[in-house]
Amino acid sequence: EDLPEQGGTIYSYEIANALLDYAMDGFGMVRILDTETVLSHAHAGLTERNETVGLLPEHEVSVYLPTNVSVSELQYRVMLNDENMKAPVRTGDVLGMVSVSYDGKLLATVNLYPSPTAIFVLLFQTPHITILIGRDTPTLFVYHRMLM
């Protein structure tokens, strides 16, 4: 057996290098939440025109995931504090939270705040789908409610 002092191989270092290579090649940071993307909406008693306010995460979240995982494979669950909020809704009010999971494992839970600019008018609604259009901007928002 060759000893390290005699120029032999140190197999524990080779195994450690192989594990590090695997981690570097097979995993990466993925942004799963950002503070610009409206995740859902809440009826906020804004006017009689059936307006809603867009909900934004409190902060962005990035997690370390396998590189073959697509963001579309993540599960987002929005829970509102109150389904029938009353105006006025203020920018700093916590209106709910969002939980993000992958493969049944919770990755993050973040508070949701009203967007100061994302006000929507209800166009169409069924028990499973809601279609809204931006009040002040030409933004279309489709919210699909999954059966649990």
**Could you read off the pLDDT of 12-33 as tens digits, one per residue?**
888 998 888 888 888 899 999 9
pTM (2 decimals)? 0.66
Q: How far, in Å, are 27, 58, 134 from residue 16 at the CA level?
A: 16, 38, 53
pLDDT over 60 (residue 101): yes
- The pLDDT, as a whole number, for residue 133 is 67
What residues does 10 pair with on adjacent strands? Answer: none
Question: Is the CB of residue 82 less than 8 Å from the CB of residue 94?
Answer: no
Which residue did the predictor score with more confidence, 81 or 141?
Answer: 81
* Percentage of the chain exceeding pLDDT 90: 26
pLDDT by residue (tens digit) across 45-87? 555 556 677 889 999 999 999 999 988 899 999 998 876 666 5
pLDDT score for 114: 83
**105 pLDDT more than 80:** yes
How far is 92 from 71, CA to CA, in rounded Å?
28
Residue type, 53: V
Share of the chain above pLDDT 70, in %: 66
pLDDT of 113 strictly over 80: yes
Neighbours of 18 (CB within 10 A): 10
Provide the phi-psi class of 96: left if phi over 0, else alpha when psi is between -120 and 50, else beta: left
The winner for highest mean pLDDT among 38-47, 102-111, 119-128 is 102-111
Q: For position 147, what pLDDT does the model report? A: 47
Q: DSSP 3-state assignment of 135?
A: coil
